[in-house]
Structure 1
Amino acid sequence: MSEHTVITEDGLRIHVTTHGRPDAAVTVLLSHCWTADEADWHYQVTDLLARYGHDIRLITWDHRGHGRSDRAPESACTIPLLARDLGLIVDTYAPEGPLVIAGHSVGGMTITAIPEERPDLMPRIAGVLFVSTTSGELHKVTLGLPAVAGALLRNRLPFVLANRARMLSLSRREKSPTIERQVARRFLFGRPARTRDVGLVVDQLVHTSPETMAGFFRDMMGHDRVGNLSAFDDIPTTVLVGSRDLLTPPEHAARIARGIRGARLLVAPDAGHYLPFERRELVSTELAVLIDRVLDRQARPSGVRPGRHLRSPAPGTS
């Protein structure tokens, strides 16, 4: 594992972690959720390293305004800039070779912006995993509540959290994360929800800056990249969603799958928005399917076989 810093076009420092050889046969990029950080993928990093060792290049990073990356002004918290940051990371740490890209929530929205922000990367993309995400129409989400109440809560809750971050010290919010805990349990997780996973998400929410909370919310409400989906036609693509996802419901996943020729849609019963935590095995296995496809194609001339298989997806996924 190596930790790095890259500087964005607008002068922000982005924290990046790389695993594996720079000349590996495939690079896997894991783009995390809004209000999270690279630990969003910690289960998948563990699983992929156990499976492939250094035979793949694995890259995670903290988005601008998240984790150990620089705090960003509200105006710089946008999906197009996330896509350009992703491109910068590819240019710096994976300048050649095929790419498998996975995105959770805003990380998946970032992928849908690649065709317009970094079209030069499209020929290198050999696999895509969309996890609990959307291509647009988040302004219609009601969080599982009646329409009027859901719309009101959807529009106010991010600013309630942002105001808490402005008005209360970090230490006070760490000691009493009452609202953050309620948000995580009520809106982010399905069933079952492990205490340690909820605790990590609550900690990430507590450490999210008000600019990140408000800026990305505003940009996501206007996010509309349905028209970009066809750029991924015939690229091996899997779309995952939990049946109890209240932030990016199953119909959003279905829209992505319909928009990409050949895409597969898998719905995890009873799971919520945090599939990388809630359905670790499913997410890791589907990543491995995409990676193995690339390794198989590259290994055939030399007779090299890809690594051992993970177990099959959890029973009950459809």
Structure 2
Amino acid sequence: MAEPTSSTDPNTIARVTVVADDGVPLATTVTGSRDAGLTLVCLHGHCQDAASWDAVCESVDLPGLRIVRYDQRGHGRSGTGDVTACTVSGMADDLDAVLRTLAPDGPVVLAGYSMGGMVALSYVRRHPDAVGDRIVGVGLFATAASGLADGGIGRYLRHPAASIVHRAVSRAPRVMELSKRAGGRVCTVAARRRTEESWLRVVGSALSNETSVVTWSRLLADFAVLDESAALDVLARVPVVVAAGTEDVFVPLSLSEMMTARLPHANLVRFVGAGHRVLADRPQEVAGALSDLLGHVRALDPVALDPVGLDPVGLAQREPTRVAS
């Protein structure tokens, strides 16, 4: 079901259900007028929902912007469908459905946090012709194109114990659901005893979330083998902001630096002292980095975005790598 087309009020908020290609309903929130000149589509992280972007979107500074946020399949108010589609590539198909339904024309900027960034990269790899034409900018926050299991806490994604957990989930999902939530409560209580940003807070939040243990497990298995590196060659055509916390142990800063090194028109933003929860803990800084990207995209007439590269005049306007403290 598409949104009403009559409203021109930039403050209009519409609740919309987009139907994925396999029939799964995707709960979507649209802010702003359909007549807006630029649409921002926000993609949330693992075991989160569209509301995780609220604080950031409220602080994004760009008049006349339309914002689309939606719960990805298996999360929030959206349906799940066949669990085999609860993968990064499956969610990229859902993104395509959202774009076809709610932004069938006009320039679009994608902003993805953690898993959402991986979904954006998967979409870009699979729809290269859209980049530079329809997709005119991308924000990648606390995310990676590959290498998640190579370091940090992510190395446990390929640990033998992970395989045992995945098998247990497939055989006894109800029991494992109870175990997941109990584990979430333990991690949350333990995290309260620490004053600094703790990996326990992230784990506790993910385990306590309403996202089913089957979806949780399926995606973790997918993260272990994630490789969307080919998307970086496609993204070289458009402005990109890559941003991450310097203390992120889930998606280490080095993975953001690796992506930036392959993106000639990317701006790397380091959130000094921040961990993985940058949307929740540093919404103003995230909004600032995103506003910079949106402002730059708007300054470049979308028509001037050559399908095979940026207008050299636009490149001269890029800001240098900066640090948010």
Distance in 2 separating the partners of 1:279 and 1:103: 15
The 1:256–1:82 alpha-carbon spacing in structure 2 relative to 1, beyond 3 Å, is same
Q: Distance between the aligned counterparts of 2:210 and 2:47, measured in 1?
A: 8
Q: Does 1:76 align with 2:76?
A: no
2:149 matched residue in structure 1: 139
> Could you tell me which amino acid in structure 2 is paired with residue 208 of structure 1?
T
Of 119-128 and 249-258, the range deviating more from structure 2: 119-128
Contact 2:27 2:70 in 1 (8 A): yes
TM-score, normalized by length of structure 2? Answer: 0.77
**Closer, same or farther: CA 167–204 of 1 in aligned 2, 3 Å:** closer
From the superposition, tell whether residues 38 and 185 of structure 1 become closer, same or farther in structure 2 (CA, over 3 Å): farther
Deviations 1:219-244 (A, max 9, x none): 11111011220101141111111111
Task: Please name the residue that 1:217 is paired with.
Answer: 220
Please report how far the alpha carbon of residue 266 of structure 1 lies from its aligned counterpart in structure 2 after TM superposition: 1.7
Q: Which residue of 2 is the match for residue 102 of structure 1?
A: 111
Partner in structure 1 of residue 271 of structure 2: 268
Change (3 A) 1:183 1:124: farther
Tell me, yes or no, if structure 1 residue 113 matches structure 2 residue 125: no
Deviation at 1:296, TM superposition (A): 3.0
Q: Secondary structure at the match of 1:10?
A: coil
For residues 69-90 of structure 1, give each alpha carbon's deviation from its aligned partner in whole angstroms, at most 9, with x where no partner exists.
0024331111111111111111
TM norm structure 1: 0.79
Q: Secondary structure at the match of 1:247?
A: coil
Structure 1 position 295, deviation (Å):
2.9
CA contact (8 A) 1:143 1:154 kept: no
* RMSD of aligned Cα (Å): 3.5
2:5 aligns to what?
none
2:206 is equivalent to residue 206 of structure 1: no
Query: Which structure 2 residue ranges, 5 or more long, are not aligned?
Result: 1-12, 303-321
AA in 2 matched with 1:81: G
1:166 aligns with 2:174: yes
Equivalent residues of 1:5, 1:15 under 8 A apart: yes
Match of 1:256 among 254, 259, 280: 259
> Cα distance, 1:68 vs. partner?
0.3
**Which residue number in structure 2 is paired with residue 227 of structure 1?**
230
Alignment check: 8 A CA contact 1:31 1:104 kept: yes
Is the Cα contact below 8 Å between 1:6 and 1:15 reproduced in 2? yes
- Aligned-residue sequence identity (percent) comes to 26
Counterparts of residues 23-102 of structure 1 (less than 5 Å)? 23-48=35-60, 51-52=61-62, 55-102=64-111
Name the counterpart of 2:315: none
Q: State the match for 1:308 in structure 2.
A: none
Q: Aligned partners of 1:167, 1:230: CA distance in 2, in Å?
A: 43
Deviation at 1:24, TM superposition (A): 0.4
Compare 267-276 and 201-210 and name the one that shifted more: 201-210
Amino acid corresponding to residue 87 of structure 1 in structure 2:
D
Contact 1:138 1:223 in 2 (8 A): yes
Q: Distance in 2 between matches of 1:184 and 1:46?
A: 28
Q: Distance in 2 between matches of 1:218 and 1:70?
A: 20
1:270: Cα distance to partner?
1.6
More helix by share: 1
Q: Give distance in 2, aligned partners of 1:254 and 1:268.
A: 13
Aligned to 2:9: none
Residue 6 of structure 1 aligns with an amino acid whose one-letter code is V
Query: Deviation of residue 159 (structure 1)?
Result: 5.1
For 2:139, the equivalent position in structure 1 comes to: 129
The change in CA–CA distance for 1:228 and 1:173 in structure 2 (over 3 A counts) is: closer
Structure 1, unaligned runs of 5 or more: 300-314
